[in-house]
Amino acid sequence: MSGFDVSRADAHRTRGLVAVASLSLSALLLIALMTGREPQSDAATIETAGVLDAPLIDTDLLSVEMGSVAHRDIAAAPPGMTPVTALDPVALNDAAFTDCTRCTTTIQVEREVPRGGTLAGLLDDAGIDRVEAARAVSALNTVYDLRYLRAGERIRLYVEPLPDNGEAEADVRLNGLSFRPDVERSITVARTWNDEYRARETIAQFDREMVRATGDITTSLYVDALNAGATDRVVVELAGVLAYAIDFQRSIQPGDEFDIVFERFVDEEGETARTGDILYARYEGRGEPKEFFRFETPDGIIGYYSADGASAQRLLMLTPINGARLSSHFSRARRHPILGYTRRHNGTDFAAPRGTPVFAAGNGVVERANRYGSFGNYVRIRHANGYQTAYAHLNGFARGIRAGSRVSQGQVIAYVGTTGRSTGPHLHYEVHHNGTPVNPMTLDLPTGRQLNADEIPLFEAERDRILAIRDAARPAADTDQPMMADAGNGAQ
């Protein structure tokens, strides 16, 4: 036998192989750890490093990378937390409460502010602790005046169920709330990393464009204008512009033509967020065409004027109600539908559904707003130049309408009803001049404010600018062409 020990050599060889294998495995694991980590996107992750028990990410950290959204922050972001990005205020709100992967499950509950109710009462009804509700409302007041919270406003609550241990006074814990008071604003209140409440207001900004809605009357001005790309708001404003020149109950005929140029504000997707002012309105029917231009005088008074600078406005509107049917004319003698005998009819009747708004025909002071014999609920207004208007058979009065209150032309003063001696819902409307009843449909009323010599050149320049905008504006109903924002500001 030689001096070489086989068993000892085998032992050395085994230990060497084990060492090499261990080193190789360690190297492979190290390489895998170094190359296997995937980068995370700041736009998709909310981290709560070092704050594992924080129920929600602070909404002050949220940011919108749109280039067209402005923010107002209430508190600075604490260190160690990553902001989330969203493309719209709704997604922004939801992300504040639903993307936190380490947080307790949050439930979304939608509630509606009841008539005469408050936000504090809404939170109480939802089972929120009153102390927490008061703290959340206090935070909200830093960005939003709760006096403007409307009945019917939909509030989205983000709550966390509490364990039933017999000690908690509330059923759920409030992690936050959000709502949108208008199309441009989103309000968010959320519990923060340090267990406080913080509020945030997100304001969206839209591109402005000028569009044109034209067409012929086939059904009604309302329906045909909507088909041409106008909106409800634009049609209502158009009715206000034309109310002094057109009797909507008798003058609108099939085949009449209309032309409207108005502002429209669109989002990044090209969707209409809201509409703005009417710059130009033209209506061609029986008689001379009616054409009006929007103009703001140097002292800030906005009105509509004809091409030669005459005001479209009159002392009184021809009809103080929209969408009604002329059911009875002013006449010296008429057979009364209830009493059965012939008597004078000193006004004009407009049949309309109960609750239809009734407008003040002109600026003035309310002389009476109460029950008045066979007229039922009744309003009488004193205007300039010896004129008075009266409104009868009303269902009720608008808020603030009482004797002595001052009203402006077009302001809602009451609602159509059938009170008093009436056969059905309608408005009985009278105009008196120096105490004598006159036919409101045939009055030649004085116009509103007239432009002075210094204002005429300014108006003519604005008129020509609006005509150029009209000729360049694309059809309001056309949504396929590229959106072009108008940078002009003369009609702001």
CB 159 within 8 A of CB 106: yes
Residue 287: which of 325, 247, 330 has the closest Cα? 247
Report the alpha-carbon distance of residue 122 to residue 135 in Å, rounded: 14
**CATH code matching the domain that covers 59-204, chosen among 3.40.50.1970, 3.40.50.720, 3.10.450.350, 3.10.450.50:** 3.10.450.350
Q: Which pair of structure tokens corresponds to residue 226?
A: 């909507």
Tell me how far CA of residue 294 lies from CA of 380, 462, 484, in angstroms.
31, 8, 22
What is the residue type of 384?
A: A
Calpha distance 346→333 (Å, rounded): 9
Q: Do the Cβ atoms of 393 and 418 come closer than 8 Å?
A: yes
Q: What is the pLDDT of residue 479?
A: 63
**What pLDDT is stored for residue 382 in this prediction?**
95
Query: Do 59-204 and 325-438 have matching folds?
Result: no
pLDDT in tens, the chain (492 residues): 444 343 444 445 555 655 656 666 666 655 655 555 444 433 333 333 333 333 333 333 333 333 334 444 333 333 333 333 334 555 555 555 555 545 556 677 888 888 888 888 888 888 888 888 899 999 999 888 888 888 888 999 988 887 765 555 667 788 889 998 877 788 899 888 887 899 988 877 777 889 999 999 998 888 899 999 998 888 888 887 887 777 665 667 889 999 999 998 877 766 777 888 899 999 998 778 899 999 998 888 888 999 988 888 888 887 888 766 665 654 554 444 444 444 555 788 888 888 888 999 988 999 999 999 889 999 999 998 899 999 999 999 999 999 999 998 888 999 999 998 888 898 999 999 998 888 877 777 766 667 888 999 999 999 999 999 999 998 988 765 443 333 333 333
Residue 127's pLDDT is 84
- Residue 73's φ and ψ, nearest 5 degrees, are -85, 145
Give the distance between the most distant pair of CA atoms in the chain.
150
Query: What is residue 324's predicted lDDT score, i.e. its pLDDT?
Result: 61
- Residue 303: name the closest of 359, 360, 240, 251 by CA: 240
Q: Are strands 69-72 and 377-382 parallel, antiparallel or unpaired?
A: unpaired
Contact 65, 84 (CB under 8 A): no
Residue 182 has a pLDDT of: 79
Nearest to 91 by CA among 20, 162, 7, 156: 156
Q: How far apart are CA 216 and CA 228, in angstroms?
A: 9
Residues 316, 440 contacting (CB under 8 angstroms):
yes
User: Distance from CA of residue 269 to its chain's centroid?
Assistant: 19
- Residue at token pair 């001049």: 433
Dist. CA 492–CA 489, nearest whole Å: 5
Cα–Cα distances (Å) from 125 to 148, 159, 188, in that order, read: 21, 13, 20
Looking at residue 261, its pLDDT comes to 94
Q: What is the CATH number of domain 207-313+450-475?
A: 3.10.450.350
> What is the residue extent of each domain of the chain?
59-204, 207-313+450-475, 325-438
Residue-level pLDDT at 25: 62
Report domain 325-438's class: mainly beta
What string of H, E and C letters represents the secondary structure of the chain?
A: CCCCCHHHHHHHHHHHHHHHHHHHHHHHHHHHHHHCCCCCCCCCCCCECCCCCCCCCCHHHCECCCCCEEEECCCCCCCCECCCECCCHHHHHHHHHHCCCCCCCCEEEEEECCCCCCHHHHHHHCCECHHHHHHHHHHHCCCCCHHHCCCCCEEEEEEEECCCCCCCCCCEEEEEEEEEEECCEEEEEEECCCCCEEEEEEEECCEEEEEEEEEECCCCHHHHHHHCCCCHHHHHHHHHHHCCCCCCCCCCCCCCEEEEEEEEEECCCCCEEEEEEEEEEEEECCCCCEEEEEEECCCCCEEEECCCCCECCECCCCCCCCCCEEEECCEEEEECCCCCCEEEECCEEEECCCCCEEECCCCEEEEEEEECHHHCEEEEEECHHHEEEEEEEEEEECCCCCCCCEECCCCEEEEEECCCCCCCCEEEEEEEECCEEECCCCCCCCECCCCCCCHHHHHHHHHHHHHHHHHHCEECCCCCCCCCCCCCCCCC
Q: What separation in angstroms does the CA of 426 have from each of 351, 375, 376?
A: 4, 11, 12
Burial bucket for residue 441 (CB in 10 Å: 0-12, 13-18, 19+): middle
Half-sphere exposure of 46 (CA within 13 A, CB side): 29
